[in-house]
Structure 1
Amino acid sequence: MHGTATMHQLTTTRHFRTLFLSDVHLGSKAAQAEMLVDFLRAHDAEKIYLIGDIFDGWRLKRSWHWPQSHNDVVQKLLRKARKGAAIVYIPGNHDEILRDFPGQHFGGVEVKLADIHTMADGRRFLVIHGDAFDVVVRNARVLAYLGDWAYDAAIAVNVAFNFVRRRLGFPYWSISSWAKLKVKNAVNFIGAFERALAEEAKRNGCDGVICGHIHHAQIARHHGIEYVNTGDWVESCTALAEHHDGSLELIRWSETAPQEVPAPALGELRGSPRRPAEAA
């Protein structure tokens, strides 16, 4: 019912029933906006869900960063709305200011706190950012901010590491993504987060849940509930797509993008608010 796209040279636009994107963090140097613009150029859908942390209000409060590429992402999405795509924006904790406007429309984009999406095959999925199920963000906001700074430092190391890899002809590889799957506390946090979201979907009478927040793209099952995390556009550059038959595909754009897509420059801090287990 689902799969992961393999490496290939995309030359035409792929059309889907639904696209799900989260954790872009526009407004931070973390955001791989050029990669996302290229992805949006190569993919289209009847409906697009923006599942939180699309812009990073936490970082924008600290220092203003909004280059043209971040404008390009916004304009590309608004252009898709003008062409008829239904776009639903479900805010996360970094763009939580939009939670004050449920039901409002901005340029053809509808704001919702959460949604239930019915797939083409009839399955019902709860669509939610997921920060409400992160105990650190919910109960210890100061720790979440401290985790933000620590994650920035880790990403800075990751940028330098990948600069060297590119010079040697090797593809991008995320140290932090590898480390979090090797560190016991990170693994435990991810597992608990997945189970909590699956249980919430079950309470809502859904067959599955689609979320973001922890920057860990995944399709899994927990006690009969399908758990799907869209990943992020800080490191992994991943998105979820629903085909017209209701099947799901996790697209890893950093692996499938045409080779001419530019890589992030050395010195561009590509972080997002996270603690060791990627809480945002």
Structure 2
Amino acid sequence: MELRQRYKTVWLSDIHLGFKDCRADYLLDFLAKTECETLYLVGDVVDLWALKRSLYWPKSHYEVVRSLFKKASTGTRVVYIPGNHDEPLRDYVGHILGPIEIKREAIHTTVAGKRLLMFHGDCLDEHMRLSKWEDLVGDAAYDLLLFLNRWANFGRRRFGRNYWSLATYIKQRIPNARQVISVFEEAAIREASRRGLDGVVCGHIHQPALKKVKGLLYCNDGDWIENCTLLGETYDGTLELLQWTEHQTLLQSMTGNGGRATADVLPMRRVG
């Protein structure tokens, strides 16, 4: 029997379909091997910014869209929360795109009873206080990181090595980048606290995380450009942060009572 993952809830964001560095191949493998009751798409699913610059839409990107619609049509509740790269879809908040619900934000209650605020995260950009020059330099530096990441993994494949995010490795070692990430996380937690909620699930900054910040739960499901990560909720209320490339790796796990664990290799769950 085929082995699959079964989750109660799955969160994906920052897929960036239409962008040349989107890892649609890994995402398609995940979608083919995963079942869930509810799938939240937490923004930047389609990169309209990239498509405006140049038309790039390979078959694998079309197949991702087809797979998402198929899931939504065959029993999975799919909720789409647009981000800044697919912002025009916010004009359709409150409507249904075929079988997919479109919301500006939402609140998810976990099996353990935790109420989590969900938004993409670009609403927190004002807290970054970046000047226009810093913003432009950041974009140029990020494009360079992705270029290096692309060629580093091309070389790794040639030698039979697994995918590895050079871009994330470098970012984690730049003090200014770490500071921006920390400011973003604290701003997200403040917003959840202001609303009297237990935590937040977001994307936007391409930095996957599952942790407690000031007593609240901070979840960032990452992206499908640098990290190929997602967040899943099991039927016993455990939250899992996974990386899905040639191998499926459990990066962080947090039980319903807030306990935390880590693991190296993700055990597959049998459906049925």
Say whether the fold is shared (TM-score over 0.5): yes
RMSD between aligned residues: 2.1
Q: Secondary structure at the match of 1:73?
A: helix
CA drift of 1:145 comes to 5.9
Deviation at 1:257, TM superposition (A): 4.3
Partner in structure 2 of residue 215 of structure 1: 206
* Equivalence map 1:15-34=2 (5 Å): 15-34=6-25
Deviation of 1:22 (Å): 0.2
Check if 1:44 corresponds to 2:40. Answer: no
Q: 1:163 aligns with which of 137, 154, 159?
A: 154
For the structure 1 residues 54 and 137, does the alpha-carbon distance in structure 2 shift closer, same or farther, using more than 3 Å as the test?
A: farther
The equivalent residue for 2:260 is none
- 1:126-141 matches, cutoff 5 A: 126-135=117-126
Q: 2:3 aligns with which of 12, 16, 19?
A: 12
CA distance in 2, matches of 1:34, 1:142: 35
**Alignment partners' CA distance in 2, 1:111 and 1:12:** 31
User: 4+ runs of 1 displaced by more than 4 Å?
Assistant: 136-146
Give the total of aligned pairs: 249
1:185 aligned residue (171, 176, 180): 176
The residue type paired with residue 71 of structure 2 is: K
Measured in 1, the distance between the counterparts of 2:226 and 2:2 equals 23
- Partner AA of 1:234 in structure 2: I
Contact 2:107 2:118 in 1 (8 A): yes
* Alpha-carbon distance in 1 for matches of 2:95, 2:14: 21
Whole-angstrom CA distance in 2 between matches of 1:37 and 1:59 = 21
Which SS does the other structure have where 2:245 is aligned? helix
Asked if 2 retains the 8 angstrom alpha-carbon contact of 1:57 and 1:95, the reply is yes
Q: For residue 195 of structure 1, what is the amino acid of its counterpart?
A: E
**Unmatched 5+ residue regions in structure 1?**
1-9, 259-280
Q: Compute the TM-score of the two structures, normalised by the length of structure 1.
A: 0.83
Tell me by how many angstroms 1:34 deviates: 1.5
Instruction: Say if 2:247 is the partner of 1:256.
Output: yes
Which AA in structure 2 matches 1:15? R
Q: Which among 235, 238, 244 is matched to residue 226 of structure 2?
A: 235
Work out whether 1:60 is the aligned partner of 2:51.
yes
SS, match of residue 8 in structure 2:
strand
> Helix, strand or coil: the match of 2:185?
helix
The CA deviation at 1:25 is 0.2
* Distance of 2:50 and 2:160 partners within structure 1: 33
User: 166-175 vs 66-75, which deviates more?
Assistant: 166-175
Q: Which amino acid is the alignment partner of residue 179 of structure 2?
A: N
1:35 corresponding residue in structure 2: 26
Residue from 64, 67, 88 that aligns with 2:79:
88
Q: For 1:28, what is the secondary structure of its paired residue?
A: coil
Separation (CA, whole Å) in 2 of partners of 1:27 and 1:87? 21
Question: TM-score if structure 2 supplies the norm length?
Answer: 0.86
Whole-Å Cα distance in 2 between the matches of residues 155 and 40 of structure 1?
A: 24
* Aligned-pair CA distance for 1:168: 2.8
